[in-house]
Every structure is written in C-alpha cells, then in structure tokens.
Amino acid sequence: MGQSKKDLRNQQQKKNKELGIVTKQQKAPNTTTCCKLCKLELRTTKRNVELVTHQTSKHPSSSMAECFPGEEYEKA
Ligand SMILES: [Zn+2]
C-alpha cells in the first residue's frame, strides 16, 4: 500500500514541526503614518483614502503635504 500525497504532506509537516520550521504564512505588517499637524496615527493603504478623509475633515485649511509629507494618495 503506497502513501497518498496527503500522507506525504502530513509527514513533511510533522518533520518540519520537529525541526522547528514554521510554515504558516506571515502577514504583511500594517504600516502607519502620523499626521504632522495633530500627531494622530493613521493606517496607510494603497490609495490612502483615510489620510485624505482625515485631512479634509480635520485640516481643511492645510494641504495633504502639510499633514502627511511624502505620502502618496489619490486626489479627490
Ligand atoms: Zn491631523
């Protein structure tokens, strides 16, 4: 009786466990940025919608560059 692929995989996982190898995937860390004006920490995303929302609601008289210099964002 041969071993199935599942058996082989379980065997490999068991071996890895014994060797102390952790195979679970690591999540990408969340990156945050601080508003330069009020020091509030906000999560940066691909389009940084949260940053734009923060700037337009909290600091409408300041620019995005003043709140979050160097951050890329999608212009509304
Ligand atoms: Zn702010």
Between residues 27 and 70, the one the model is more confident about? 70
Say if 8 falls within a structural domain: no
**Domain range holding 56?**
32-67
Cα 66 to averaged position of ligand 1 atoms, centre (Å): 9
Per-residue pLDDT tens digits for 17-42: 888 876 666 666 678 999 999 999 99
| Confidence bin at 3 (pLDDT 50/70/90) | confident
pLDDT recorded at residue 63: 96
Say if 53 falls within a structural domain: yes
Cα 44 to averaged position of ligand 1 atoms, centre (Å): 14
Cα 27 to averaged position of ligand 1 atoms, centre (Å): 28
Please list, in sequence order, all residues whose beta carbon lies within 8 angstroms of the beta carbon of residue 56, skipping any fewer than 6 positions away: 76
- Please name the residue ranges forming H helices in 1-76: 5-19, 49-58, 64-67
Cα 34 to averaged position of ligand 1 atoms, centre (Å): 8
Average per-residue pLDDT for the chain: 87
Q: What is the count of structural domains for the chain?
A: 1
- Its pTM stands at 0.60
Say if 72 falls within a structural domain: no
Say if 40 falls within a structural domain: yes
Say if 13 falls within a structural domain: no
* Surrounding residues of ion ligand 1, Cβ less than 5 A: 35, 37-38, 58
